[in-house]
Chain A
């Protein structure tokens, strides 16, 4: 034993233990995010509980089991909760999501296992996804089409009517976003044009009349579309469904608020799988609802991708040029040394500092100057002098510059110098050698750097909070109105979405699964990008290794 300790073997095992802990945490973390993120889309059973609460009486509860924990009974009695007599040292309690937010005080409720008299899973229990107030659970009693109850299979009729109302909702939305949206956009542009003429002193009576005329035309068009919109909305309000909820009351749900109805207890595994895929698709393609705590994350995905691509366009040339300078042109000396320290430091400066810098320098100074030079008509309302997607992209471009530089330089250093010498010997100039030989050979490395930069930027939140991200952006930075790219607009971002929904929303408990799903999406994208980059890099290494021999 003593010898064994002397040999140092226990300490080696301790270090091995550290590796195991690291591995467990990495893999455990990823698996947990994946599990918690994906389970959000899986239809879970709805239970009907008979509950007896000491001192209050019996009641019925319908809902999903959301969480379960076992706690010492003492802790509960300390909190003044009355337990039934024969409770052991521990008691299990369930967190039940009851939905029906407008009719109950709390849509999440802790229920002690000892208080549950019975638990059933009736196949007829329906889950209504609604555009307002979250889920609704209950039994479908009757379906009402155009004022008359539907006869026959009410579930089939319900599905048909929901399809109809959601089609109408889609129509209304597209009308609102494209036609009406572009009229509003045009009106605003005209207002600014008029104001610009005032500022220049060129506003003649002629032009005023012109503006008036076109404004009138636009307003007339607007009226037409608005009438159409109201018509569609009225159509969508036509039907309703009567549902019996857990209080035993009949509740009338207008179908224009119902997005989907499912009977999870009645589903077999294939139904559930189909539903899972459908929910996943809806999550990726839908707009958020209810202050981001429900619905999809499409605008956040779009905003993230748009910003990251803009950033890639900015960072690539600078990063590659800097790497080429460092590797191909720079001579050993104090300047180069300082440059390398600058690169290391750019990589090490906390991201929030970039945010502060971006806000002060890009937004207020650069953006402010752009506004006073090019958009005087909109002042004092800022155009570029306020956080926006362009400034976010530039700020993150500086932040990710070192990533591109380091990666490109590594690629350059792997290209054997014989290749360069060969090119020079054949009479090419250095620039030509670089352009024709070196850069093409280094392009996978540049690609690697770019992918890593994109992955880094996609996950960065702190600086974006200062330079352009918002909790809910009414318009995407890309739309059908000229000039199509609206770089001054604010945008939504997946990472910020996680922070916002997880920590700023009023009902964190309800939003938590959605946050896990968003986190899973973000992690998948980022880990995927990283693995791709590592793959490309390893491939490159192998390739050049064979070149050297």
Chain B
């Protein structure tokens, strides 16, 4: 290009010139910046999901109380904690230093003694979400309390006021009519029903539903227990738990786990009894994971096993799905509120954090204090409160994305209630404690499947068209044909998707035999036409100039297609008894979706054809003419010249055309979104749909919560797409540049 010199000596003009140079350079480099920005921003959003969990010690304090603690907990903002003690009282205290109210940690905010007539004999805690605590007394009564926090905003400062809600009345409720002491207790609530399981001192196992009835005279709700006894209960009971839907009672007795179906308390039955201890170990503790469908069992050799119910051949059974190894005898297992994480406390003061779905050991370290007597997890899982011999210690827990690990994303995972490990993508559900299934495998597979069928359709047609247009077509015709095919690239993909989904899909469904027939008949017709043309009288052939073959073929192809479609119905009756879909599904066992891979292949193939065609045509056309002329002069036929000389020389260009096409097919969104059912299945069946990475983003991104694991995984999907296409495009571009240099040297 022109050199940088100037003839002028006017400084202001020179300054302007320099200024222009700098600003243009900056502007030019902005393109690079834009690409890098996209790359790094995607990475920046994705990166936190690979952070390990962090536990940081915060405030430490002691409470001025003498009684023994039974359970501790804290509210959502991690400002206030509470402790239930064996003097039948609760203490609310400050957890953190809060500037606005100048509160110090450990300051007691509220203390409350509960009325009771018996002596304490047992204590139970419901699932963390329900936040119910129950005192069991030696006269067979139970008192249920629930800590609550009222929020108010005096002077625009948020203030929390702790209080106790007597869920089933301020008076203790009689569970055992015989008045025996309750030595073990379990409590759970689902919608309006509270279920209590109790083991009495004389060895009976009771199950009750608490019912509240409004008294018409006083307008107060009076609570009464409807109790049933379970026969043949084991004598020794170590742990009792009720599932959160009140369907099962889990009873741990030594190494045995008993599972009772308590859906109907008058017909309680033992559904399963099994040994749940790890090999060469004894069970130490048992708890339920959030959602209440998984049982976590801790052993004295440090193994924690997860058990959940699956549908097997002989009905439903609980199986051991996975095990974690901590190496230290497990004392307590505490689940999180909503996620499938749980904390473990070991004898020597080890704290472990695990996530079941992703099989992840997130944290396993010894805390400062040797003995941990109680631990509570914050509702938002961002803090843990630990009671040790030295007092209370608040820990900040950073564990935002435990559900994402390499294994959870790319390997088979055994989800709760699934009969076996599988690749599943199911990101959201109505429930809070839903187990998210974030396997990228089915959608990555869907992307490849869609791209594969599209390329299967597009590559032969695009390349063959490129060959003919560049090498055989008369130049006058080429001038119109090339832009005509290329203009297809400008066609919005939303229109292709709409046509594929609403027009092509029903046509294919109705005329499936015709489509198959067309695939067979079309090549035959073309060759027959060619032969007929070859044999045709010379005068006829001379009427049409050379290189117009494709125009000659147009009416013939149209006619044959029309015939194939009109015979479709007859063929259907002849071969498939008039119902092709039925035949496919019933006789061949191939399931058929209306919006399937065939439709996507054709529609997306359509979108890709112009890309491949355009680049490949350019590559073939720019093969230097003296190469092909040389070959022809040596006696090769034009087909031989094409295959042995032209295509060989242009092969890098053709390769880069295919790469570009693949890049486009992989990232295409609207067509797959509209022309498939968007079901994330893994099957190569051409008559079934798929869900691709891009469609998945388009469907789920608008409803994903900013900063959640789901949001970041969708960014990861975008990042994967970015990297894929970046590789395809860069390779293609390199090859093209080298080819260009080669041609210019020829």
Contact = CB atoms under 8 A, between A and B. Distances in A.
A244 interface: no
Contact of A526 (B2, B468, B491, B579): B491
A318 B31 CA distance: 8
A261 interface: no
A90 B573 CA distance: 10
A349 B722 CA distance: 6
B41 A462 contact: no
The range of chain B's interface size is 35 or more
Contacts of A340: 733
A9 B572 CA distance: 35
A342 B35 contact: yes
A78 B526 contact: no
Interface stretch (A18-26, A230-238, A483-491): A18-26
A21 B461 contact: yes
A462 B493 CA distance: 9
B527 A13 contact: yes
A324 B24 contact: yes
Interface in B1-40: 1-2, 4-8, 13-14, 16-17, 19-21, 23-25, 27-32, 34-35, 37-38
A523 B488 CA distance: 10
A18 B492 contact: no
A72 B494 contact: no
B722 A465 contact: no
B646 interface: no
Contacts of A353: 38, 42, 667, 718, 721-722, 725
Interface string B714-737: 110010011001101110110000
Contacts of B189: none
A398 B25 CA distance: 18
Interface stretch (B306-314, B344-352, B536-544, B634-642): B634-642
A395 to B, nearest CB: 11
Interface stretch (B59-67, B432-440, B696-704): B696-704
Interface string A113-135: 00000000000000000000000
A501 to B, nearest CB: 9
A505 B13 CA distance: 62
The range of chain A's interface size is 35 or more
Nearest to A433: B2
Contact of B640 (A8, A23, A357, A428): A8
Contacts of B718: 352-353, 356-357
Given A19-B469, A70-B569, A326-B28, A432 B499 contact: no
B379 to A, nearest CB: 22
B666 interface: yes
B485 A23 contact: yes
Interface in A337-386: 338-357, 359-361, 364
A264 interface: no
Given A4-B531, A425-B7, A329 B21 contact: yes
A14 B721 contact: no
Contacts of B552: 16
A275 interface: no
B529 A13 contact: yes
Contacts of A432: 13, 16-17
Contacts of B79: none
Given A351-B669, A353-B667, A427-B7, A22 B13 contact: no
A364 B701 CA distance: 13
Ranked nearest first, the 4 interchain pairs of A and B with the lowest CB-CB distance are A8-B639, A350-B667, A325-B28, A459-B492
Interface of B: 1-2, 4-8, 13-14, 16-17, 19-21, 23-25, 27-32, 34-35, 37-38, 41-42, 45, 460-465, 467-469, 472-473, 481, 483-485, 487-488, 490-495, 497-499, 501-502, 510, 522-523, 526-527, 529-531, 533-534, 549-554, 557-558, 569, 572-573, 577-579, 582, 606, 609, 613, 637-640, 642-643, 660, 663-664, 666-670, 673-674, 694, 697-698, 701-702, 706, 714-715, 718, 721-722, 725-726, 728-730, 732-733
29 contacts: A8-B642, A12-B638, A13-B553, A15-B467, A16-B549, A18-B465, A19-B485, A19-B550, A21-B465, A23-B481, A25-B606, A72-B573, A74-B579, A318-B30, A321-B23, A328-B2, A335-B29, A339-B32, A344-B730, A348-B728, A352-B694, A430-B4, A430-B6, A430-B17, A431-B19, A432-B17, A461-B669, A466-B702, A499-B494
Interface of A: 1, 4, 7-27, 29, 33, 69-75, 78, 89-90, 317-318, 321-322, 324-330, 335, 338-357, 359-361, 364, 398, 401, 405, 417, 420-421, 424-435, 455-456, 458-462, 465-466, 495-496, 498-499, 502-503, 508, 512, 515, 519, 522-523, 526-527, 530-531, 534
